[in-house]
Structure 1
């Protein structure tokens, strides 16, 4: 991906759809919880319970919808998930009780996770010789779209009226509809033929399941910048509060500019395993620096936190690029959606438990908790290369043959 705009039309369509979608998602990501607590006036505890239920629903749908994308055509299945997400998001304006809120947010979260799995065969089909690199490009686009959505959400939060929040919800749903409409300009991808053997092969692939679990453990690092640093900065340091936005914007800028470049040298599963290991060390260093920001002058705390954010984001670049590589390279082409659905289970679980883990260890326990979390990242990174080698050995012994009676049909 040497250019700012992809070379092929299908890649441009996927990128445009992703950009519009993430602008809408950035609105919700920034101000969604505030909408339900400040505008709808649901108790914070009920909002937390509803989001936890949504996480469980998302876990259940990823593998199933990924399999449907493999068998029935990824473009149509992905477009359906975007449409469901738009309808569920639009229902937020009616969610003035806990159960209505829970139903709407579970539908939206389930469709989002399902869409991620359904999109994977499209990335693999249209990503060229290196779909992992195209996936890295899409992550840069994602960060740009979320940043722009977050800026719009900042205006909503500043105004703070029910009307402003409802406009945000409408804009969010509209973005998903537009993203689906753009996606339909993509040429259809024929379903891949089935192969002999069990249907749910990804759930029987123990090395891949282990890799998914290890990736999920490291995915907790995404919450360090959005949960750990803000709470630590406010409660334990004298650094200015505006630095919360400063660390997130610094990280976002680095990802937008350098994610594709970071992915170029990670061109094999073995290189991906080594990148996980480097990422774990970077996360250990960043967590240690964050812990040291407590009890020192404001200028020194700010310098430490910015430095930690930069080091952490470098680790994030390696971690994301490694995940793109091993998740695609170790997944058979005929079951890309199913395998990527399994790989996403770890990250979905990290979304559910990550905030509570960081709060209990790093915020409640304090400085020692940061060292424990950093060590957890480092040890996980050290374990990944062994899991990668196990997965490669299994891949070498598994050579499925397409069934002769099954023909692919375009959707």
Structure 2
């Protein structure tokens, strides 16, 4: 665990805040849907519709809140999103019909997406020379926190009473409030003065938009181990059902142990492009192996699935490292929140459509669908290096709205020249 503890100071405060937050997230990820279907007794299809609407709301908020974090101070904006998320989560206990459920889940999901964008300037500011590597630390911490939350949620599901589920909701909200309170230990980050050019420059940066889209397609892989593999394992293979937990634990442990190390090897946008390509190849191999588990004896299917999960997780490590690198390295410092908000659009769309796509391909279609999914990942990874080169070439061409402001204007604004590199 020592490699998950940054040096004392702002990095450790951010890591602690992230850990507390993800413990709460682990509670909800594991038992949130069950709360609304089993405890509140909402129909599963209505819950699915509400979550889909919430996903669309989240897509609309990331860029706007990221821009606010750049211009008005990231610490305060990020803390505000956590407070909103806590209040919305606490209101789950009152959401006993469809429309109140839609309202609170949209509020909570929107605040979550906004917080992800607002946190990005903090990561860049306090991440040192390599904020990408610090982001990898936080992802490892995230997996530990979610695992702890998932263990607590297992007790809730086992007990299955309304009181137990309400305790889960309250615990989730408290975790978000504590996470926000820990941010008060951070020195505030000064707002970044605006430079000339469009207020939504990230939405006009076509190479960055393309990379965001490619990363979004690749981000569907995050749902493979949580949606497609459990359904395939139970419905199409002879592997023991308890292996569903085994696959999740295998992936989580590998991410905790290896994410930082893998990210250290991806030190430039070009390296990020190559990591995307390797990730796509790994996903193609793992998807093919998962499909072949159907029809095998139980022990053979179990062994093949575990091996496939290991390969898939290696691809996940490369994919995450690539995303950390290109999203930060190709975003101008004066618009980190805005650009990272745009980069999150692809992943948000994958969150909304990924489960349905995986069910249609891998569960309803069956074995051919796994091959199609693997090919989709491989083609996406192969396109990424070309998109990275386009983005780097575009950044080498001087653009008027990215030029360094006149020194006299800079001194009138804040006494120093503005760093926009």
TM-score band (shorter)?
A: over 0.9
Equivalent pairs counted in the alignment come to: 409
Residue matched to 1:401: 404
Is contact 2:4–2:141 with CA below 8 Å preserved after alignment?
A: no
- For residues 124-163 of structure 1, the C-alpha deviation after alignment (integer angstroms, 9 at most, x for no partner) is 0000010000000000000000000000000000000000
Unaligned ranges ≥5, structure 2: 417-421
- For residues 189-240 of structure 1, the C-alpha deviation after alignment (integer angstroms, 9 at most, x for no partner) is 0001110111100000000000000000000000110000000011100100
For normalisation by structure 2, the TM-score amounts to 0.96
- For residues 56-101 of structure 1, the C-alpha deviation after alignment (integer angstroms, 9 at most, x for no partner) is 0000000000000000000000000000000000000000010100
Q: For 1:159 and 1:374, how far apart are their aligned partners in 2?
A: 39
Is contact 2:64–2:338 with CA below 8 Å preserved after alignment?
A: yes
Residue matched to 1:346: 346
Is contact 2:280–2:377 with CA below 8 Å preserved after alignment?
A: yes
How much does 1:390 deviate? 0.3
Q: How does 1:162-177 map to 2 (within 5 A)?
A: 162-177=162-177
Residue matched to 2:419: none
Q: For 1:351 and 1:76, how far apart are their aligned partners in 2?
A: 27
Q: For 1:38 and 1:408, how far apart are their aligned partners in 2?
A: 59
Is contact 1:192–1:408 with CA below 8 Å preserved after alignment?
A: no
Is contact 1:288–1:374 with CA below 8 Å preserved after alignment?
A: yes
**Helix, strand or coil: the match of 2:413?**
coil
How much does 1:5 deviate? 1.7
Is contact 1:194–1:406 with CA below 8 Å preserved after alignment?
A: no
Residue matched to 2:135: 135
How much does 1:2 deviate? 8.2
Q: For 1:408 and 1:357, how far apart are their aligned partners in 2?
A: 53
How much does 1:8 deviate? 4.0
Residue matched to 1:202: 202
Q: For 1:137 and 1:292, how far apart are their aligned partners in 2?
A: 35
Q: For 1:4 and 1:19, how far apart are their aligned partners in 2?
A: 11
Q: How does 1:115-194 map to 2 (within 5 A)?
A: 115-194=115-194
Residue matched to 2:112: 112
Residue matched to 1:222: 222
Q: How does 1:235-274 map to 2 (within 5 A)?
A: 235-274=235-274
Is contact 1:196–1:401 with CA below 8 Å preserved after alignment?
A: no
Q: Is the aligned partner of 1:315 residue 2:322?
A: no
How much does 1:408 deviate? 9.0
Is contact 1:190–1:408 with CA below 8 Å preserved after alignment?
A: no
How much does 1:396 deviate? 1.0
Is contact 2:70–2:336 with CA below 8 Å preserved after alignment?
A: yes
